[in-house]
Amino acid sequence: MNLVIETIKKRKSVRLYEQKSIPKDIINTIIEAGNLAPSTGDEKLVEEEGKRRKITNYQPWRFVVVETKEFKQKLFQTIDPIRVNFYESMKNTMPEMYERGMKLYEVMEDPKDLIFYSAPVILYVIGPGKNAIGCAMVCENIMLAAVSLGLGSCYVGFGAMITHNADVVKILELKDGERIYGPIVLGYPKVDPSEIQVSTLAELRDEKREPTIKWI
């Protein structure tokens, strides 16, 4: 099979990780793959040595790699109350989704983390809101690169819900007009999960439907 197609087919959302650090050169390789995504440019004027010239920024995104336990805890404490309230609201409005979340919570090891899944790396992709398509392609490149290097990944939407915490916003250096894409958690998939963990994750994983295609 074509290696690119094989990598795409192997990608899945991983929610159980080994507590093992990822070498920085591998993280850099993954980020470089993300940075190669297609993008549109923004022209701006800069002044150098008294002269103005027009430059185009073809990579309008940036990356923040979170590895420290302290900042992970700050992120978790910022977001978890939002997650809890969201799950409570689903009891009546989306009972099936609520049950799925609770099943996953039950089989997770302590400390239970339904936001970042205790992954060793949280990778924030940050870029202008007007470059949403390009930043989304960055995220896909990152997840495919991770698979190709033997890592697991998961795009975690709850991880972006931090803008009400001024300290977190300051550390991430979020600016007006910027948006968080992801973040994406990275790590080595758990080598020997329990039977109940394997069966629960298999139950929660939706089958991909066949594509809808119109030929003209």
pLDDT above 70 covers a percentage of the chain that reads 96
Question: Average pLDDT of 146-167?
Answer: 97
In a domain, 60, yes or no: no
- pLDDT attached to residue 145: 98
In a domain, 139, yes or no: no
- Under a CB-based contact definition with an 8 Å cutoff, are residues 62 and 24 in contact? no
3-state SS, residue 102: helix
In a domain, 102, yes or no: yes
In a domain, 108, yes or no: yes
More confident residue, 11 or 45: 11
Bond from prior residue into 111 cis (ω within 30 degrees of 0): yes
- pLDDT attached to residue 42: 67
Q: Is it the case that residue 48 has pLDDT exceeding 90?
A: no
Q: Is it the case that residue 44 has pLDDT exceeding 70?
A: no
More confident residue, 70 or 102: 70
Q: Is it the case that residue 59 has pLDDT exceeding 90?
A: no
In a domain, 49, yes or no: no
In the sheet with 62-66, reading across from the earlier edge strand, the strands are 62-66, 121-128, 178-187, 152-155
Report the number of distinct structural domains present in the chain.
1
CA distance 143 to 152: 8
Which residue(s) pair with 202 in the sheet? none
Q: What is the DSSP string of 41-64?
A: -EEEEEEETTEEEEEEES---EEE
- pLDDT attached to residue 43: 67
Write the CATH number for 105: 3.40.109.10
Rounded to the nearest integer, the mean pLDDT of the chain is 91
Question: Average pLDDT of 3-29?
Answer: 95
**Host domain of residue 191:** 65-128+147-204
Instruction: End-to-end CA distance of the chain: give it in Å, rounded.
Output: 28
Residue count (the chain): 216
Question: Average pLDDT of 181-203?
Answer: 90
In a domain, 39, yes or no: no
